[in-house]
Structure 1
Amino acid sequence: MITRRDLLLSVPASVAGARLLHAQQPTFRVGAQNVPVYVTVTDANKRLVPGLEQGDFEIYDEKTKAPITIFDNQIQPVTVAVMLDSSGSMTMNLELLKQAAEQFVIRLLPEDRGRIGYFNDKIAFLSDFSNDRDMLIASIKDMQFGNPTRLFDSVLFSLDELKNVEGRKVILEFTDGADTASRSGLGEVLRRAREEEVMIYGIGLQSVMMGMRTKPDSALRKMAEETGGGYFELKDTDDLGPTFTRVAQELHSQYLLGFEPQTDGKVHKIDVRVTRPGLVARGRRSYQAPKS
């Protein structure tokens, strides 16, 4: 029998069996009367923790404990926009980035849908949302270079593309530098991600330009932390493949919790906790309450 842990730790050669299991699972839908919170749980060694139950979690809405009205520990299908920085600083590393993105696509499950895009001074999508892994991998090869870097705009373009998508929505954003040319800012990104309930993952690569080491835009971490996604900052391109693989593993091992929102029309802070000692829970930090 294939277990949840088997599925999470499977290598590409064994994905077919895991895919069959996933295809038999129903899609879970969250009603408008609940706030969905997708939660990643790790232990002290950063390993993903499966097998938890509803009683292992607590949710606090503005420091007041909220009853958990929805709980599901099965794999939830995801629609993900993968946006890759192809600005001039990535010239020497673009092929490695393409290979890493392929590792992520390979690990998408049959009910998942992905879309590949890139950004520099331009923002372009190389595919439609699809579960055709071969097509998505082929599209990665069409990335083009450019300058400068429109990080925030690329997130907003992705939000536009996800706006009419039903179900769980994720943006996976990669960059090796700071935003230098966006027409929008971090505040607008966070507002829309909160209101449209989109999780953002960030992968940042430190790079060397003219003998100096540069860091990815600090806003990338902020976007990930506020929306419940993970943030990974890399010093070595050798870590690109394993990190893109880790993101896929996390997306297929998260818990779905839900609670009834307040109805005051305000932005509310959320704190998700796991009660078992030694474990850490990560989820979105806020939601936009409806107004009664």
Structure 2
Amino acid sequence: MPTKLHWLAAVALLPCLYAQAPPKPQPPKPAEEDLGPVIKVDVDLVNVFFSVRDKKGGYISNLAKDDLEVLEDGKPQEVKFFTRETDLPLTIGLLVDVSGSQGALIEEERSASYKFLAQVLRKKDEAFIISFGVDSELLQDFTNSPGLLRQGLAGLRLNAGVSGMSPTGSPLPGSGRGTVLYEAVWLAAKDKLRSEVGRKALIVITDGNDVGSRVKIEKAIEEAHRSDAIIYSVMFEDPRYTSMAFGGSSGEGPMRRMAEETGGRVFRVSRKERLEDIYNMIQQEMRSQYALGYVATNQSKDGTFRKVEIRSKNKDQKVQVRKGYYAPDEGDLKKPSKR
């Protein structure tokens, strides 16, 4: 299985004193090499990605900075930069449910996912693929290679194992792991996206039912906030299985919560909207985002959650944005960018 290793180099500068030797003349400095644009990360700058839609659901593409109001914990903030066309890298984590309830859907998930990733990824963008059932598996680490992505998607396979289901298909109370949905989101955000820069999104294809995760949904959402990841929840259900195993209940509530908390949306595959159609909508949204940054008036490094609200002065327009972010702790260390 491919692995991407992130190496951290610690360089210690040791002063050396040569009291008896005169200083050597310094050679002329070579001309600086043009390395292209550099992304400078300011720990005091709060960066927010968001989209704006009209009453009919269409994306608004001509907003200016003065059309918006930004508040943190209810207090107005001064916007330092604002742009619609952002050239920041895009990192996508594709999380696919391969538990017992999804067995009949895997082939469609594989085909539509490949088309989506092949279309949306540009040269500097990357994606990774995780499947989850009774456990989580990294099928493909960070790449923008269509061949490697296809190979990773080829690894999608039923992962039911010992799911804690009764012979009728119903989950047994207090039984083992069955669909570690929240755990997969938590791991993807924490282990894969936390140290990435630029725009980050998790696309989660599932029926929304979690059985056996060792982390709660709150921790999964918290980790998505800490990694600045937007979650797009794609409800894809086999109605025959859902009605049998879960009594007709839907996992849409938790999936909607994860999406709305992080500034994403929830979609549902149906006869009118296929998985491929939903992927096209997600792609359109990611290419229609705005980005803004502000220096928070609250400069405390206390690690608390700060609520963020962006309002359009046009009441007919709806802003889709994450609910907030976690301020850094005083003891946090800056981590070098990997891009």
- For the superposition of Structure 1 and Structure 2, which TM-score range results when normalised by the shorter chain? 0.7 to 0.9
Query: Partner residue of 1:54?
Result: 65
- The C-alpha deviation readout for 1:260-290, integer Å capped at 9, x for no partner, is 2223322121111122342211111112224
Choose the corresponding residue for 1:179, options 199, 210, 219: 210
**Matches of residues 260-279 of structure 1 in structure 2 within 5 Å?**
260-261=295-296, 262-264=298-300, 265=302, 266-279=304-317
TM-score, length basis structure 1 = 0.84
**Matches of residues 144-183 of structure 1 in structure 2 within 5 Å?**
144-147=157-160, 148-159=178-189, 160-183=191-214
- The C-alpha deviation readout for 1:67-121, integer Å capped at 9, x for no partner, is 1112121133211111000111111111111122123202222221111121001
**Matches of residues 10-29 of structure 1 in structure 2 within 5 Å?**
none
Does the 8 A contact of 1:207 with 1:214 survive in 2? no
Higher deviation after alignment, 161-170 or 34-43: 161-170
Larger helix share, 1 or 2: 1
**Is the counterpart of residue 136 in structure 1 residue 149 in structure 2?**
yes
TM-score, length basis structure 2 = 0.73
Choose the corresponding residue for 1:94, options 98, 106, 120: 106
Structure 2: any 5+ residue segments left out of the alignment?
1-35, 161-177, 331-339
**Is the counterpart of residue 222 in structure 1 residue 234 in structure 2?**
no
**Is the counterpart of residue 71 in structure 1 residue 107 in structure 2?**
no
Alpha carbons of 1:96 and 1:182: their partners in 2 closer, same or farther (altered >3 Å)?
A: same
Distance in 2 (alpha carbons) for counterparts of 1:235 and 1:179: 21
Does the 8 A contact of 1:263 with 1:290 survive in 2? no
1:242 is displaced (CA, Å) by 0.8
- The C-alpha deviation readout for 1:227-249, integer Å capped at 9, x for no partner, is 11122133448521111121122
**Is the counterpart of residue 245 in structure 1 residue 270 in structure 2?**
no
Query: Partner residue of 1:16?
Result: none
Distance in 2 (alpha carbons) for counterparts of 1:205 and 1:28: 37
Alpha carbons of 1:27 and 1:78: their partners in 2 closer, same or farther (altered >3 Å)?
A: farther
1:129 is displaced (CA, Å) by 0.7
Letter in 1 for 2:318: V
Alpha carbons of 1:30 and 1:242: their partners in 2 closer, same or farther (altered >3 Å)?
A: farther
Structure 1: any 5+ residue segments left out of the alignment?
1-24
1:216 is displaced (CA, Å) by 2.7
Distance in 2 (alpha carbons) for counterparts of 1:52 and 1:136: 36
Letter in 2 for 1:126: L
CA RMSD of aligned residues (A): 2.2
Instruction: Return structure 1 stretches of 4+ with deviation > 4 angstroms.
Output: 25-30
Letter in 2 for 1:68: V
Alpha carbons of 1:30 and 1:113: their partners in 2 closer, same or farther (altered >3 Å)?
A: same
